[in-house]
Every structure is written in C-alpha cells, then in structure tokens.
Amino acid sequence: MALREVRTMGDPILEKRSREVTHVTERMKELIDDMFETLYEQNGVGLSAVQVGVLKRIITIDISEEGNEPVVMINPVIRECDGEQEGYEGCLSVPGKTGRVKRPYHVVVDFLDEDLKPHSMEGDEVFARCICHECDHLEGKLYVSLVDGPLQDVDDVEEEQEKRTKRKKMRVAKGR
C-alpha cells in the first residue's frame, strides 16, 4: 500500500467524468488499498479515484464512527433520494475550506463490490451526504458548486461551533 497524492481544486482532472469499471485487476485492487490508506492519512471520510488522479468510477467511504463499515463502491448509481439535510461539507480536494450544502437525507445506491458482485445499500444523514459527495466527484463536480454562500475556513467554523456548544451548555447548566 502507498499514499497517493490528492488532487486539489484547479486540477483539470477533477472536472472530468470518470469511466465505468468493467473488470478489476490486481492493479485496481492496489489502487483501492491505496485510496483507503490515503483517506485515513488525510482524516477524510470518503475518497474517489479521480481525487488521486485515476478516472475510474470507484469510491471508498469510511464513516465507521457512525456505525457503518468501510465500503468500496464500483460504478455507484444513486437510485433513490428523499428528504433534505443541510450542513457543512468539506473535501480533501478543497483543503481547509467548508461550506453549507443541501443534500438528500436518505439515498439508495446500487454498486458493484471488488468482485463485481452487485449490491444495494441505503444511507441516511452523514452516510447519504458522503455517497452523494463522492458520486458527484465521479461526474466531475466539486461540492463548491453547491455551497450556499461563501466558502469558509474550517478553523473559523469549528471555532464558532465550539462557542455555540459552550453557550448552550451554560444555558442548560443555568436551567434555561
């Protein structure tokens, strides 16, 4: 396994549509392993092959803290979407920035595993957001095109959220 360079906004490859995967080679399995290693090293939750310079319809997602197992999706297609959620979103290809994005609350996605066996999976909340975000990468879209308002520095947003949490805890402690 090896770390891969994550391409950043401005790199023209991020604007290209990824190609369908028709067979999985040992080299592709190595790519998937490298994608997970890169994802973990960068403290991300999702990574598409195009983000490491490979125009293949492959995404890796690990939001295990949300109770999900790490997953590889080859040729994913979102079949159903419903509900709506809005929240801050970031991207390894747009380092240090975040913005508010509306996404479906619930999705159903069809995909192939590493053995090209078909699967269907449902996702809610963060998992749904991640699936949509990574599938957008496969179409050559960055989340910045969906941001409501300006992009913000991650540090500024985290600091503001910490202040809100402290104020909320103080109100609760005072019985308000």
118 strand-pairing partners = 112
Question: What is the CA angle 41-47-52, rounded to 5?
Answer: 80
- The catalytic residue among 26, 69, 84, 134 is 134
Burial of 20 (0-12, 13-18, 19+ CB in 10 A): exposed
Q: Are 147 and 88 in contact (CB under 8 A)?
A: no
**Closest alpha carbon to 93 in 4, 11, 2, 1:** 11
134 catalytic? Reply is yes
**Closest alpha carbon to 32 in 53, 57, 55, 58:** 58
Q: How far is CA 78 from CA 29, 40, 93, 164, in A?
A: 23, 25, 22, 35
Residue 1 CB: number of other CB atoms within 10 A? Answer: 11
Which residues are known catalytic residues? 134
